[in-house]
Chains A and B, each alone.
Chain A
Amino acid sequence: MNNSATRKPLAFVLAVCCLFPVAFLLFQSAARRWVYPNLLPQEFNFSAWRTLFQSGHLGGNLLLSLGTATAVGSGATLAGFLTSKCISYHRWRKPLLFCAYIPFVISPVIFGVCILFLFIKLRLADGFFGVVLAQGIIAYGFATVFFGRFWNAQLRATEELVYTLGGSVWDALVRALFPMARGALFVCFCQAFLISWFDYGIVLIIGGGKVETLTIRIFTFINEASLPLAAASSCLLVFPPMLLFWANKKFVLTLPNERL
């Protein structure tokens, strides 16, 4: 069978699968009086979007989500990069890497419940920093595992070369390792950003209702059965990651070994 003949329909199906949820959210945000058994809504308007932007809280929710996800993404990426470097050259590499998996593989809700008591004692619960720290632990585990296969003999030799050329540990990091890893760093940042951006469980449990991110706001709309409002705010939740994906498609759409 001709490869290009199958590739085009497959690409089309893939594009439809990716775009359908977003298109449906847009459609539902404008749908009014859509009752069973009607196949289509009886009315379309953008009142949900108007309500959303006129409510005043949305900007705050959006900024809070962006701030949390950016802090978690950048902090976890940097910490994961440095930790994975230490682990990769350590004689207990495997057990240490296994430990890094633990917060990442546990469900965020269970993880949140497990650390809640500690966070209350440390006065970290019900606040922005507590949420960032809790999400950061999960994203940190992910980032450490992500960079686990990044380090190799060649990178170590490059680092040693910088030392013999007169560079310090800082020089090796800033002038050689970070620039050489910029593709992987960017992909890891995006993934860690998304872990925080889409999180609901941790924000609910650790934030205790006082940290109102966009996901919390969406679930409020869903609980109130305001489906057009929930759909409109979900669109806002989906667009930033899509923009992020578009911005770094060069790195995301390459094979892992090419990228690293």
Chain B
Amino acid sequence: MNADAAFLEVRNLAKAFKHEPVLRRVSLALQAHQTLSVLGRSGCGKTTLLKIIAGLVEPDAGDLYLEGARLNEIAPQRRNIVYLYQEALLFSHLNVFENIAFGLRLRKVPNETVKTKVGEMLESLELGAHRRKRPEQLSGGQRQRVAFGRALIISPALMLLDEPFSNLDAEIRTSMQQLFKQVARRFSITSIFVTHDLKEALIMGDRMAQMSAGELRSFASKEEFVHDPATGVATELGFWDALKAEHIVL
């Protein structure tokens, strides 16, 4: 990838907590309107990477650039980068409508515009019937959709998704993955999607990267990712092939 044309560029990022290195010279480049899947086990530094990009954690070393502008000294409020957690983290004192409108209210957008924009967002996320409900009245998938809507409505330059579907059951997880793909296309989202699930990483990402012990390895293509023994895809495929062969023999 041509680093000069990258929408997001991370150069030699390093971070240690209590002298324990969490990120070691992490670099990545991401084009606009693409989703980068970062696969990695728990504790490998994925969340720290996202939090540094969002401005929530200060790096020890390294540089961040968004659309060519240096991000390091910019406060999280002014980066226009939204970080989505594993939990939907809806505001319990607000209903679905007001949760989605939250970012617009912060920007003091006129009420009529808020109504129109939130209405459209509710419809596009199939939440129109739930607009007056409280967060505790929603299912896990619906909550996560509201969280997406709340992030999308402020048109962020970049979305950082930290295992957002990990708390959902398999069926809802699949439908949420499809929904995110649709929404990402429709709103031309640029995002980094962090997961420890191999299948999910492959489904969600236009580009692939793997993180291990604080080091990030980017892959030029999905094919390279699939054929690399370190990613575990070959082992996974081998397992299913063996199972299939066993089934045929039986």
Whether, in the assembled complex, B189 has its beta carbon less than 8 Å from a beta carbon of chain A, the answer is no
Chain A residue, CB-CB nearest to B79: A164
Q: Contact at B106–A157, with CB atoms within 8 Å? A: no
Whether, in the assembled complex, A163 has its beta carbon less than 8 Å from a beta carbon of chain B, the answer is yes
Whether, in the assembled complex, B56 has its beta carbon less than 8 Å from a beta carbon of chain A, the answer is yes
Chain A 129-141: CB-based contact to B (< 8 A → 1; otherwise 0): 0000000000000
Whether, in the assembled complex, A179 has its beta carbon less than 8 Å from a beta carbon of chain B, the answer is yes
Give chain A residues whose Cβ lies under 8 Å from the Cβ of B103: 165-166
Q: Contact at B107–A158, with CB atoms within 8 Å? A: no
Q: Contact at A175–B106, with CB atoms within 8 Å? A: yes
Most chain-B Cβ atoms within 10 A of its Cβ — which of A166, A171, A180, A182?
A166
Q: Contact at B91–A176, with CB atoms within 8 Å? A: yes
CB-contacts of A155-170 with B (<8 A): 157-158, 160-168
Interface size class of B (residues with CB under 8 A): 20 to 34
Whether, in the assembled complex, B92 has its beta carbon less than 8 Å from a beta carbon of chain A, the answer is yes
Q: Give the number of residues in A that approach B within 8 Å (Cβ atoms).
A: 18
Return the contact of B76 from the options A164, A171, A179 (Cβ within 8 A).
Answer: A164
Query: Which one of B59-67, B80-88, B221-229 is at the A interface?
Result: B80-88
Q: Contact at A163–B76, with CB atoms within 8 Å? A: yes
Whether, in the assembled complex, A6 has its beta carbon less than 8 Å from a beta carbon of chain B, the answer is no
How far, in angstroms, from A167 to B105 measured CA to CA in the complex?
A: 10
Q: Contact at B89–A166, with CB atoms within 8 Å? A: no
Q: Contact at B77–A167, with CB atoms within 8 Å? A: yes
Give chain B residues whose Cβ lies under 8 Å from the Cβ of A154: 87, 89
Q: Contact at A171–B87, with CB atoms within 8 Å? A: no
CB-contacts of B42-81 with A (<8 A): 51, 54-56, 75-81
Chain A 223-252: CB-based contact to B (< 8 A → 1; otherwise 0): 000000000000000000000000000000
How far, in angstroms, from A160 to B57 measured CA to CA in the complex?
A: 10
Give chain A residues whose Cβ lies under 8 Å from the Cβ of B85: 157, 161
Chain A 85-121: CB-based contact to B (< 8 A → 1; otherwise 0): 0000000000000000000000000000000000000
Q: Contact at A168–B93, with CB atoms within 8 Å? A: no
Whether, in the assembled complex, B97 has its beta carbon less than 8 Å from a beta carbon of chain A, the answer is no
Give chain B residues whose Cβ lies under 8 Å from the Cβ of A171: 106
Q: Contact at A160–B56, with CB atoms within 8 Å? A: yes
Give chain A residues whose Cβ lies under 8 Å from the Cβ of B148: none
Q: Contact at B87–A157, with CB atoms within 8 Å? A: yes
Chain B residue, CB-CB nearest to A91: B18
Tell me whether A165 and B106 are in contact in the complex, defined as CB-CB below 8 angstroms, given that A160-B56, A160-B83 are known contacts: yes
Chain B 94-114: CB-based contact to A (< 8 A → 1; otherwise 0): 100000001101110000000
Q: How far apart are A156's CB and chain B's nearest CB, in angstroms?
A: 10
Nearest 9 A/B pairs, CB to CB: A179-B93, A163-B76, A165-B103, A164-B83, A167-B106, A166-B106, A164-B82, A160-B56, A158-B89
Q: A164-B82, A175-B91 are in contact. List 20 more A-B contacts (CB 8 A).
A: A154-B89, A157-B87, A160-B51, A160-B56, A163-B55, A163-B56, A163-B77, A164-B55, A164-B81, A165-B150, A165-B154, A166-B77, A166-B78, A166-B103, A167-B77, A175-B105, A176-B91, A179-B94, A180-B93, A182-B93
Residues of B that sit less than 8 Å from A by CB? 51, 54-56, 75-83, 85, 87, 89, 91-94, 102-103, 105-107, 150-151, 154
Question: What are 18 contact pairs spanning A and B, CB under 8 A?
Answer: A157-B87, A158-B89, A160-B54, A160-B56, A160-B76, A160-B83, A161-B85, A163-B76, A164-B55, A164-B76, A165-B106, A165-B151, A165-B154, A166-B77, A166-B154, A171-B106, A176-B91, A180-B93
